[in-house]
Amino acid sequence: MSIEAVDFFYLSMPKVEDIGDGSQDALVVRVTADGVEGWGECEASPLVSIAAFVTPMSHGACKPVRDVVLGKTIDSPADIAAMSAAVEMECMDLLQAAHTFSGIEMALWDVLGKKRHAPVYELLGYKRAYPKLPYASQLFGDTPAETLAGCRKARESGYRAVKCGWGPFGKGTLKDDRDHLHAAHEGIGADGTLLIDAGQIFREDVEAAAQRIAFLEEVNTVWFEEPFLGGAYAAYAGLAAKSPKVRLAGGEAAHNFHMAQQLVDYGKVGFLQIDCGRIGGIGPAKRAADYAAAHGVTYVNHTFTSHLALCASLQPFAGLEGHRICEYPFAPKSVAWDMSETHLTPDANGEVNVPAAPGLGVTMSAAGMKRYLVDVEISTKGRTLYRSPTL
C-alpha cells in the first residue's frame, strides 16, 4: 500500500478553560492508503502539530513531516519502523515533529491492522489482550472536603482506582497535603488503589518532595507521579532512594524511546507512563513497554483525551498481564467523547478491554467530529499550506 493522504482534523470545545483538563481539544489524523482509512491522535496543541506537517523545509535535517510520509509504502510493521527512523533523521531539528508523527504512526498501525484483519496488539506480537484496571483521574479539590467528595463519587461510579493530582498539592503546608491525601483515601476506600500526581510542582527540590513520602505511605499510595520536571532524573533517583514503598511514576512527556529508557535507567521510576500521542506512536511505546517489563518497571498508558487515543495507548502493553493499571479518561469533555462511536466502557468487573477488532478497533464519528471542527488556515508567500478539510 502507498500512503495517499494524511488529513488533520483540529477539534475543540467552543471554550477552552485554563484548567488541567487535556480533553478540551484534540488533533485527529486520518491516513488513507490504497483506500483503507486509519485513524490516530496527536497530543497536544493541534495548530502547532499541523504546522510541523506542512512547514517549509529549513534544511536537509529539518523537513516537514509531510515530506517523510506522503507516498511512502506501508505493507508491514517494518515499514512503519523505517518511517519512524526516517522522521528521526530528516526531521531531526524540528522539535514538534515527534508529536505530529505520533498520530500518523497510530493511524498507520490502524491501516495495517484493517488490511490484515488483525488487532494491532497481534501485529505487535501479543497473542491476546488482558483486561486492565482503569483509574479515574481527577484534580485535587480546593479543599479536603472537595477531594473526599470527588474520590467518593469515582468509587460510587465503579472505579476501584483513583488518581488525584495538581490543584493545591505541594503549594500549601505539609498539613494541607496530608489532609488532602487522607480525604482521598477515605473517598476511594481502604481497599481502593490510590495514585498521586504532583504535576512537577517540586521542580528539582528533592527535600520538599521527600517531606510528603510519610504521608503518602500512611494512605497506601501506589505511585507518586511527576514530583519533578520531566528531565530532572537525578531528582527522581534521589527521591526514589528515599521512598522504598511508594514508587515513582513518570514519562508522559517522553517524545522518543530513549527518554522513556532514561527514566527507568537514571530516574529509577517504578511506573513508566507513556503517551502514544507524544512518544512517536505505538512502535516506540511498545519498545518502552518491553524495556520496562525487562527491568522490573510497570508500564502504564498516559491518556487524558479520547477513546481513540485510549484504544491506541492500550495496544503497546495489551499482552502484558502483570501490567494491570490503565489511565482512563474518566470525565472527558464532549469533544473527546463524541469524536468516536466506539467507547471502551468498563465491564462488569470494572475492567477495560481492548477491542478485538481489526486495527485499533475504533469507529470514528464524522458527525461527532464535525460539531467541533476548528477552521484553520496556514499560508506562506500567498500559498495555502493547510486548510481544515471537510468531514
Beta carbon of residue 355, minimum distance to its own copies (angstroms, whole number)? 27
Site for its own copies contains 43 (CB under 8 A): yes
Closest contact distance (angstroms) between CB of 309 and its own copies is: 13
**C-alpha closest to that of 304 among 204, 225, 228, 222:** 225
Please tell me whether residue 44 binds its own copies under the rule CB under 8 A: yes
Using CB under 8 A, which of 29, 51, 108, 194 touches its own copies?
51
Is residue 92 close enough to count as binding its own copies by CB under 8 A? yes
Establish how many alpha carbons lie within 13 A of residue 35's alpha carbon, considering only the half-sphere containing its beta carbon. 0
Residues 6+ apart with CB under 8 A from 244: none
Rounded to a whole number of angstroms, the minimum distance from the CB of residue 19 to its own copies is 5
Q: Which is nearer to its own copies, 62 or 293 (CB)?
A: 62
Q: Which of 1, 32, 47, 324 is close enough to bind its own copies by CB under 8 A?
A: 47
By beta-carbon proximity to its own copies, the closer residue of 103 and 113 is 103
Among 233, 317, 328, 372, binds its own copies (CB under 8 A): 233
Contact 168, 176 (CB under 8 A): yes
133-139: strand order across its sheet: 298-301, 271-274, 247-250, 221-225, 193-197, 161-165, 133-139, 325-328
Out of 12, 32, 143, 211, the residue judged to bind its own copies by CB under 8 A = 12
Choose the binding region for its own copies from 57-65, 116-124, 183-191, 350-358 (rule: CB under 8 A): 57-65
Choose between 38 and 165: whose C-beta lies nearer to its own copies. 165
Cα-based distances in Å from 272 to 39, 220, 371: 25, 19, 35
Residue 185 found at the interface with its own copies (CB under 8 A): no
78 counts as binding its own copies under rule CB under 8 A: no
Contact segment (CB under 8 A) with its own copies among 45-53, 154-162, 187-195, 335-343 equals 45-53
Phi and psi torsions of 38, nearest 5°: -120, 155
Least distance in angstroms from the C-beta of 190 to its own copies: 32
> Is 287 a binder of its own copies (CB under 8 A)?
no
- Per rule CB under 8 A, count of chain residues that contact its own copies: 69
Mask for 16-35, x = binds its own copies (CB under 8 A): xxxxxxx-xx----------
| 348: preceding bond cis by omega (within 30 degrees) | no
Is residue 108 within 8 Å of 81, Cβ to Cβ? no
391 binds its own copies (CB under 8 A): no
User: Residue 140 is which amino acid?
Assistant: F
Q: How far is the CB of 109 from its own copies (least distance, A)?
A: 22
Alpha carbon distance 30, 106 (integer Å): 10
Single-letter amino acid code for the residue at 330 = F
Q: Which of 343, 286, 281, 340 has the alpha carbon at shortest distance from 318?
A: 286
Binding-site member from 266, 295, 363, 389 for its own copies (CB under 8 A): 266
Q: Can you tell me which of 3, 183, 194, 232 binds its own copies, judged by CB under 8 A?
A: 232
Determine, following the binding rule CB under 8 A, whether residue 159 of this chain makes contact with its own copies.
no
In the complex, minimum distance from the CB of residue 196 to its own copies, in angstroms, rounded to a whole number = 17
Tell me how far apart the alpha carbons of residues 253 and 274 are, in angstroms, rounded to a whole number: 8
Neighbours of 5 (CB within 10 A): 11
Listing DSSP states for 41-103 in one string gives: EE-S-HHHHHHHHHPPP-BTTB--HHHHHTT-B-SSHHHHHHHHHHHHHHTTT-TTHHHHHHH
In degrees, to the nearest 5, what angle opens at C-alpha 279 toward C-alphas 8 and 388?
A: 10
Residue range at the interface with its own copies (CB under 8 A); choices 28-36, 40-48, 146-154, 320-328: 40-48
Q: How far is the CB of 233 from its own copies (least distance, A)?
A: 7
Amino acid identity for residue 309 in this structure:
A
Residues lying near its own copies in the complex (CB under 8 A) are found at 10, 12, 16-22, 24-25, 43-48, 50-52, 54-63, 85, 88-89, 92-96, 98-99, 199-200, 203, 229-234, 253, 255-256, 258-259, 261-262, 265-266, 278, 374-382, 385
